[in-house]
Amino acid sequence: MISRLILTYPEGARRTGIAFVLCLITLGLYALGISSAWIGYLVPATSGWLADNPALGRFFAAGMIALILAANWMALRQLTRRQQIVGVWIELFALLMLFFYSFNLSLPFIAKKIGFMVSQGVVTTLYISAISIAIATLIALTGAIAKLSKNGVIYGLATFYTSLFRGLPLLMQIYIIYLGLPQVGYVIGAIPAGILALSLCYGAYMTEIFRAGIESIPRGQSEGATALGLSSSQTMGLVILPQAMRVIIPPTGNQFIAMLKDSSLVSVVGVWEIMYLARTQGQTEFRHIEMLITASMIYWILSIGLEFLQSRIEERFGRFNVR
């Protein structure tokens, strides 16, 4: 019945649909408990009416926001795809800044501390992450080859490793390595402990990524290489891995970004990286939120850098795919 109506009156159905969505958004905003104060700010003359009719005012505010969203949607639709993307980014970024602005942050305090955050925190975070990423990649490669091994001992070692280090929370691993190794007579510094824990944990995740990547290459490739007389390590290094990289890189980039942020867990053993500084620098003047937001933005910027790097590498390894 309804489907017939939609088919017969497509234009009417479209308008009804839009009105329905608008109503839904309005009701949703109202249910979320939106405030009508902003209308009072914008048009002071209405503030008396708003105070008298709180419920009606809130409903009116929700409807206005729904209409603003709709207008925004219409405006964006006029643009090209590229402009739409940029437009959405700018709008959402402005909203995010508005959200931060509402905390009434002390910008001078941030300006005073940010130099130290970058020179100490960012540098430490970056070098812990970079070393861990390098070691984790090596572990992952070894682990993946071990997992594809016919030798039972090697396979057993690899599966136990991935199972254990994927199974324990990273925070627990950092504690166990930092506090546990001295128990057996090996005293380890906070930074090496952090790097070890990050490498082992991410190495375990990435082992699975590398294994899946290697397995995704058809058997004919290794047969072709073997038939040419290439040894098994040459086959892996020259034929299989370069092709597997295309499959491996996107999820690995994900892991790198995740690791960058998980390196914040290392702060629990007192390493002066971004997270640690964010927690401690604000304490003296009770300006916690300033430091936390600053640290968040720094993490975000670093992640964007990694995303960019990832897309560049993907391009490089994908170039043979052109037709």
Partner 1 sequence: MNPVPAMQNSEILLRGVHKWFGQFHALNDINLSIAPREKVVICGPSGSGKSTLIRCVNRLEAHQEGHIFVGGVELDHDERKADLTRRGVGMVFQQFNLFPHLTILENCILAPMWVKKLPRKDAVDIAMTFLERVKIPEQAHKYPGQLSGGQQQRVAIARALCMNPKVMLFDEPTSALDPEMVKEVLDTMVELAGGGMTMVCVTHEMGFARQVADRVIFMDRGQIVEEGTPDDFFARPKTDRAALFLSQLLH
Sign of CA dihedral 165, 167, 173, 176: negative
Cβ distance to partner 1 smaller for residue 221 or 303: 221
Among 172, 228, 301, 304, binds partner 1 (CB under 8 A): 228
Q: How many residues bind to partner 1 according to rule CB under 8 A? A: 23
CA distance 21 to 245: 44
x/- mask, partner 1, residues 207-226, rule CB under 8 A, reads -----------x-xx-xxxx
Cβ distance to partner 1 smaller for residue 91 or 223: 223
First to last CA, the chain: 48
Find the shortest distance in angstroms from Cβ 203 to partner 1: 25
Q: Does 138 bind partner 1 (CB under 8 A)?
A: no
Which residues between 229 and 268 bind partner 1 (CB under 8 A)? 229-232, 234, 238-239, 242-243
Find the shortest distance in angstroms from Cβ 323 to partner 1: 6
Cβ distance to partner 1 smaller for residue 154 or 268: 154
Cα torsion 178, 180, 182, 183 to 10°: value is 170
CA distance 144 to 8: 59
Which residues between 280 and 319 bind partner 1 (CB under 8 A)? 317
Q: Does 321 bind partner 1 (CB under 8 A)?
A: yes
Name the DSSP letter for residue 235.
Answer: I
Cβ distance to partner 1 smaller for residue 47 or 243: 243
Q: How many CB atoms lie within 10 A of CB 115?
A: 9
Q: How many CB atoms lie within 10 A of CB 322?
A: 5
Find the shortest distance in angstroms from Cβ 240 to partner 1: 10
Alpha helices in the chain (DSSP H): 2-8, 10-31, 37-42, 47-52, 54-77, 81-101, 107-116, 123-147, 152-167, 170-175, 190-215, 219-227, 232-234, 241-262, 274-281, 288-317
Cα torsion 238, 241, 247, 251 to 10°: value is -140
Find the shortest distance in angstroms from Cβ 32 to partner 1: 52
Cβ distance to partner 1 smaller for residue 16 or 231: 231
Q: Does 153 bind partner 1 (CB under 8 A)?
A: no
Residues in contact with partner 1 by CB under 8 A are 218, 220-221, 223-232, 234, 238-239, 242-243, 317, 320-323
